[in-house]
Structure 1
Amino acid sequence: MSAIEASGRPAGGAEWLSARAAQKLLTTVSVVVPMAGLVLFFGYPLLMIAWQSLLAKDGTVGLANYAAIATTPGLITATVNSLVVSAATMLVSVVLGFVIAYALERSALRTKNLMRAALVLPLLAPSLVQALGLLFILGRNGLVHKWTGWDIDIYGFWGLLIANVFYALPQAVMILQAALRNADSRYYDAAEVMGASGWRQFVDITLPNTKFGLLSAAFVVFVITITDFGNAIVIGGNYRVLATEIYSQVSGQMDFGMGSVVGMLLLLPSLVSIYIERVASQRQFGGSSENLIPVSPKRAPLRDALVGGVCLLVAAAIVAIVAVVVFASFVKLWPYNLSFTLKNYNVDTSDGYASLWTTLKISLIAAAFGVVSLFMLTFGVRRLGGGMAKAVYLVAVLPVGVPGLVLGLSYIFAFNMPNSPLYILYGSAILIAICNFYHYHTQGFLTMMTGMRAVPAALEEAVSCFGGNLRCVLRDAVLPFMAPTVLSVFFFLFMRSMVTLSAVIFLVTPKVNVASVAVMRLDQAGFVSQAAAFSTWIMLIVGGALLAMRLILGRVSRRLGYLGQS
């Protein structure tokens, strides 16, 4: 019996047909509008960059640009370097990440909150802040050289490796924590009864149960590293990678054809890695039991001392890198005059703090537009069902496989055409906001979809039974349950838009600049203390947003809990 029939309405009457038509119309609009946005601002630009890669300098169409790869030693070197540094970062990050995740989930350490707080710090700033902090510590004008006289060459592979590890480590830890939580303590209880030692339990139970989590973390780190631009441009030096090669081809040599080819090269390993990561993630969490008994941390002095020591060293390094950037923002002349001053916060180069205010506006637009679009899409997918819903879902998660540099470059070809009606968007803050949103579309969609699935279908049915229309269903059934998810996605899009660099590096103009690019240009111009001051402002804003999110989510959760009890 349907909800409308249960409410006593005539099943074939005009009122029922009107409600049915309204539901179909709402579902159609909820799916078609966001999908049109995906086609226009994701699919169309990618087609344009693929087409551009086929255009030779003489205007002919073919594979000449791809054939030129073999005769371009610098491009081959950049490809090899990218694969090498990404593989090294992947290995180090997964090993360190597993130790830290194990310490947070399975040990009895008392310093877990310190480690969690340290892991948040790299997420508060653009990726280049890690590289900037390393230069302040280990560079030619760094503190180590000033205090000891040691001449450390941090530029190149080793500096890039260290910076990338600290940038990717938080995400590896989060994935591995989730994998470790997906274990049943009954296996360990049975192993103890059979006399298995702690090491045997680790080898025979823990590692096999987390193998797909390890694989997932490995490929996430690989993608983050091979597509990152910030660390490479600041500390890479002469160690060329694909991300800096794209920037060089487009901004330096104005060779858009070869830049597009490099972009396509960067796209291939990312897509393969994302596919493997998705399969690993489904294998890891798809077979988990709802009745599993979580593993409780047990005290083991030697083990806790070892993993605790690693955690403290990593936490100290992360805090030191961020702290030295903040410290450098308050010194008169780094590293020669370390006396206190506030003059670095009076940024008098270029457009001053205009780029920071522009970034705030862009981030708010991306978050607001993104939340509305994702809510509509997930609301529509929930009601579609069947093969159509699966097809929409597949398209919605595709952006995760496209690096920010590639997406940003594709926007040049798609929107920088004076004869196109879309040209009105080029060079505007709105286009940068749209690019930021679609760069993080997949993460927002998956989060929103998880929240939408948690809305009880019976509650929607009950609202309908009592005569509620679609507006009432949304207001009384969907939105109360979705409020925490909507807030989380809003703040996620806002914070990522504040710190992203790769996706917007090609879209900024003299009139519309963003904070992360301003930091990069200040550093390249030699104004390192002002770059540190700019970075500190970004970290304060993003940290404030994170704190606000937690406070608001706490109040919303308590409110929902109160409503549930009443």
Structure 2
Amino acid sequence: MDGIELSDLCIQLHEDNWTLDAFPRIFSDYTFNNALRNTLLLGCLTGLGSLLIGLLFAYVDVYVHIRSRMTKKLFDVVSLLPVVSPPFVLSLSMMLLFGRSGLITRMVLGIYDSDIYGLWGITIVQTLTFFPVVYLMLKGLLKNIDPSMEEAARDMGASRWKVFTTVTLPLLLPGLGNAFLVTFIESVADFANPMIIGGSYDTLATTIYLRITGGTYDINGASAMAVVLLGLTLVLFLIQKYVLEKKTAATLTGKASRGRMLIEDKSVRYPLTVLCTAVSVFVILMYIAVPFGALFKLWGRDYSLSFKWFEQMFRERGWQAFKDSFVLSIIAAPVTALLSMIISYLVVKRKFKAKGFIEFVSMLAMAVPGTVLGVGFIRGFAGGVFRTGFLQGIYGSGLILIIVFVVRSLPVGTRSGISALRQIDKSIEESAYDMGAGSGKVFMTVTLPLIKDSFFSGLVTTFVRSITAISAVILLVTPRFLLITCRINEYAEKGEYGVACAYATILILITYAAILIMNTVLKYFGTSKKIKGEVK
């Protein structure tokens, strides 16, 4: 948004009075009602699709004997690729491979009127993006099922399918519901994919954005829509957090009593392995398409290699976009990691009245869609805090972007820190207290070194999440700062997919380089195995 738009927004915020008139107005608005229906339908389809593929990968990983080490490695890579990749990479790939000028649709199949925009295009992209979350959740649950329960059914003559439907699946039901709600929340909160590949299929996230940036500057209407979207995700988050998670924990208790006999039957092993391989190859193909989209001279017509899109990217302020994104993310990362460890320490190691409230608030950002957070920051800071003028200067600055990065990444670091701290025996810290050390000294010299793996993981995770963020910052970024993700969205909207792919390619390299550095540091400088053994 340029300076004039920011001025208009501030004027409207100052002129607004406290009123609920916006809610009746949006509920009678066809655009809002259509977007709400579209969002709910998209969430259901994405949740079901992610559930099926995630369950397939988890079952094959835990139950099926995969003889090829390369195939096993392929499944592991594919199940983690979308988790650490920028949120819009698969949308770009869908257009490059299956669009009107798609490599597969036009060059291979000879289809010239392919239309992958809309509901099914978003559903496919979101399913491939979110199914690894389901896979990681269900993999742990399947490992905790005692194999003796399933083997008893097999000894009584039940088929593999009968055992799965009557023993395994009922034990997994709370976990399946939990995984479905998590992906449903991720789907309805997603902004990048519907914005790029949605076409005329509006969702609440994109409608809120367009209501603000489409020329009407309807902050009241956008805020009311944001409240509805927040209410939807918050209710689902509470159900998932405090209902289904407890049922899952109560249903699958402890660890399996002994090792599981992996399935060797060809009738089971071959079809499941082929299905997972097909999905894996498809996902890999999608990711390969992005760098080639940046290297081909003109996608759909001229497939000769060229660096023209990279040259255009850097010629049109590309260096500034990478510099601004990198600097802001680097600043946000240590702040978030340190705050996460402090909150985790208070939650796990201290007893006080507001303990539950602090833990809940630190996790709440997981349920807040990025677009809603962006609208909230506009309402909260464009006219100063509560329109008092206090801190109004941070609106449009880099500081507000850093704050957004911190808020968005705090829950991930906090959960990691809480898990790590709960593994530390109390006697280790108590011995330091007995020797006269204070709380601060114990935290800095005993606790923090033991959880430095989680601290560093949170550091890198925050950096990756910040540099790939778009939904929360796209409403807040100004011409003073250029962000990589916003530039990708801008070029994709203009149909300049070569430049968008060039940005995305370098962004992917940055994120994977950060993860590689993290793994290397943890491998050679992380908490030693000896200390970990003593802690356990």
Q: TM-score, normalised by structure 2?
A: 0.90
Distance 1:195 1:415 in 2: 66
Distance 2:18 2:319 in 1: 44
Taking structure 1 as reference, are residues 395 and 201 closer, same or farther at Cα in structure 2, changes over 3 Å only?
Answer: same
CA deviation profile, 1:495-527 (whole Å, cap 9, x unmatched): 111211111111111111211111111112232
Taking structure 1 as reference, are residues 564 and 243 closer, same or farther at Cα in structure 2, changes over 3 Å only?
Answer: closer
Distance 2:72 2:249 in 1: 25
Matches within 5 A, 1:276-315: 276-278=239-241, 279-286=243-250, 288-290=252-254, 292-293=256-257, 295-315=260-280
Name 1:18's counterpart in structure 2. none
Amino acid at match of 1:128: F
Amino acid at match of 1:100: F
Question: Which of 452, 461, 482 is equivalent to 1:483?
Answer: 452
Give 1:182 deviation, angstroms.
Answer: 2.1
Name 1:548's counterpart in structure 2. 517
Name 2:74's counterpart in structure 1. 114
Contact 1:227 1:404 in 2 (8 A): yes
CA deviation profile, 1:390-447 (whole Å, cap 9, x unmatched): 2322232222211111001111111112662312322222221211221232222111
Taking structure 1 as reference, are residues 365 and 58 closer, same or farther at Cα in structure 2, changes over 3 Å only?
Answer: closer
Secondary structure at the residue paired with 2:504?
A: helix
Name 1:231's counterpart in structure 2. 193
Taking structure 1 as reference, are residues 286 and 427 closer, same or farther at Cα in structure 2, changes over 3 Å only?
Answer: farther
Secondary structure at the residue paired with 1:338?
A: strand
Question: Which of 495, 503, 506 is equivalent to 1:526?
Answer: 495
Name 2:5's counterpart in structure 1. none
Secondary structure at the residue paired with 1:424?
A: helix
Distance 1:296 1:557 in 2: 34
Amino acid at match of 2:363: V
Give 1:320 deviation, angstroms.
Answer: 1.0
Amino acid at match of 1:417: G
Amino acid at match of 2:244: A
Contact 2:83 2:133 in 1 (8 A): no
Amino acid at match of 2:63: R
Matches within 5 A, 1:145-156: 145-150=106-111, 151-156=113-118
CA deviation profile, 1:294-335 (whole Å, cap 9, x unmatched): 534332212111111111111111111111111111111222
Matches within 5 A, 1:58-457: 59-109=16-66, 110=68, 111-143=71-103, 144-150=105-111, 151-252=113-214, 253-278=216-241, 279-286=243-250, 288-290=252-254, 292-293=256-257, 295-346=260-311, 347-348=313-314, 350-385=316-351, 387-417=353-383, 420-457=389-426
Match status 1:463 vs 2:426: no
Secondary structure at the residue paired with 1:353?
A: helix
Taking structure 1 as reference, are residues 218 and 235 closer, same or farther at Cα in structure 2, changes over 3 Å only?
Answer: same
Give the aligned length: 513
Secondary structure at the residue paired with 1:270?
A: helix
Structure 1: stretches of 5+ with no match in the other structure: 1-51
Distance 2:532 2:59 in 1: 37
Distance 2:35 2:315 in 1: 33
Contact 1:142 1:335 in 2 (8 A): yes
Contact 1:56 1:64 in 2 (8 A): no
Give 1:167 deviation, angstroms.
Answer: 1.3
Q: TM-score, normalised by structure 1?
A: 0.86
CA deviation profile, 1:165-187 (whole Å, cap 9, x unmatched): 11111112111112212211222
Distance 1:404 1:270 in 2: 11
CA deviation profile, 1:432-479 (whole Å, cap 9, x unmatched): 121122123222211111112222210111122234444542344212
Taking structure 1 as reference, are residues 190 and 415 closer, same or farther at Cα in structure 2, changes over 3 Å only?
Answer: same
Contact 2:344 2:415 in 1 (8 A): no
Contact 2:332 2:405 in 1 (8 A): yes
CA deviation profile, 1:29-48 (whole Å, cap 9, x unmatched): xxxxxxxxxxxxxxxxxxxx
Distance 2:345 2:382 in 1: 34
Give 1:192 deviation, angstroms.
Answer: 3.5
Larger radius of gyration: 1
Contact 1:454 1:481 in 2 (8 A): no
Identity of aligned pairs, percent? 26
Taking structure 1 as reference, are residues 124 and 341 closer, same or farther at Cα in structure 2, changes over 3 Å only?
Answer: farther
CA deviation profile, 1:333-373 (whole Å, cap 9, x unmatched): 22211111122222146422211221111222221111111
Distance 1:406 1:263 in 2: 5
Distance 1:88 1:160 in 2: 10
Structure 2: stretches of 5+ with no match in the other structure: 1-8
Taking structure 1 as reference, are residues 421 and 518 closer, same or farther at Cα in structure 2, changes over 3 Å only?
Answer: same
Amino acid at match of 1:448: G
Distance 1:59 1:425 in 2: 21
Distance 2:353 2:251 in 1: 23
RMSD of aligned alpha carbons: 2.3
Question: Which of 467, 473, 477 is equivalent to 1:508?
Answer: 477
